[in-house]
């Protein structure tokens, strides 16, 4: 009888713990949506350039770092720390598949962003690793396809991992590819 009482108590406790506090006025942010390649970006709006890593072979080690450069068309800009080329912390964030402390620079005269990602996670082998916010200037007509086309001939990146067995860095640039999409 005593065991049945404990089981009943445990079942009730688990059931009650699943109940929320009502939520009330809690409003969740809408999920990001990929912008169609041919859709013109709205001037005055901010979008995310989302970078992902895709392995083309079995990786010898988890990804520990990625250096990537991307070029933005004229009329797009990235916020920087006043008086520098350092990308503002509010404009660069981790992707959804890895946590890290992002850094980068943006040269407005060339439209080139240099971005660095390093992680101590020992399981990252691919997926979203970086989100870069950019703003579309008034009078600009550009599509995500324009950004992708511009970067098809400007794919500058390096991917490294750490092999704990040999205590050495592993260059995996040839077996990890980077992609980019534009999200709202």
Residue 16 lies in a domain: no
Q: What is the per-residue DSSP string for 77-110?
A: E--B-TTSSBBPGGGEEE-TT-----EEEEETTT
Residue 4 resides in a domain: no
Domain count, the chain: 1
pLDDT at 154: 67
CATH of the domain at 163: 2.60.40.680
**Residue 155, pLDDT score:** 64
CB count in 10 Å sphere of residue 169: 13
Tell me the three state secondary structure of residue 51: strand
pLDDT of residue 163: 87
Is 6 inside any structural domain? no
Instruction: List Cα–Cα distances, 148 to 7, 64, 72, 137, 154, in angstroms.
Output: 58, 25, 9, 18, 10
In a domain, 149, yes or no: yes
In a domain, 58, yes or no: yes
Q: Phi first, then psi: give them for residue 6, nearest 5 degrees.
A: -65, -45
User: What is the chain's pLDDT, residue by residue, as a tens digit (184 residues)?
Assistant: 433 333 333 333 333 333 333 333 433 445 568 899 999 999 999 999 999 999 988 999 999 999 999 999 999 999 999 999 999 999 999 888 888 878 999 999 999 999 998 988 888 899 999 999 999 999 999 999 999 999 987 668 999 998 888 889 999 999 999 899 999 9
Residue 103 lies in a domain: yes
The pTM assigned to this predicted structure is: 0.79
Does residue 11 sit within a domain? Answer: no
Q: Domain containing 92: what range?
A: 32-183
What pLDDT score was predicted for residue 25? 41
Give the pair of three-digit tokens for residue 175.
Answer: 């077996």
Q: Are 133 and 121 in contact (CB under 8 A)?
A: no
Looking at residue 140, its pLDDT comes to: 97
pLDDT value of position 164: 84
């Amino acid at each position: 009888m005593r065991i049945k009482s404990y089981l009943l108590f445990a079942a009730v406790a688990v059931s009650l713990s699943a109940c929320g506090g009502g939520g009330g006025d809690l409003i969740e942010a809408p999920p990001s949506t990929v912008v169609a390649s041919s859709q013109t970006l709205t001037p005055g709006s901010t979008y995310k350039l989302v970078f992902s890593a895709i392995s083309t072979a079995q990786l010898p080690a988890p990804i520990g770092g990625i250096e990537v450069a991307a070029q933005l068309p004229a009329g797009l800009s990235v916020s920087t720390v006043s008086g520098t080329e350092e990308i503002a912390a509010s404009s660069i964030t981790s992707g959804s598949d890895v946590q890290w402390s992002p850094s980068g620079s943006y040269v407005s005269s060339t439209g080139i962003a240099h971005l660095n990602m390093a992680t101590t996670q020992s399981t990252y082998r691919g997926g979203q690793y970086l989100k870069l916010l950019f703003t579309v200037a008034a009078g600009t007509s550009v599509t995500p396809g324009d950004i992708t086309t511009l970067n098809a001939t400007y794919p500058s990146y390096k991917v490294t991992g750490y092999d704990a067995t040999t205590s050495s860095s592993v260059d995996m640039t040839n077996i990890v590819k980077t992609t980019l999409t534009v999200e709202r």
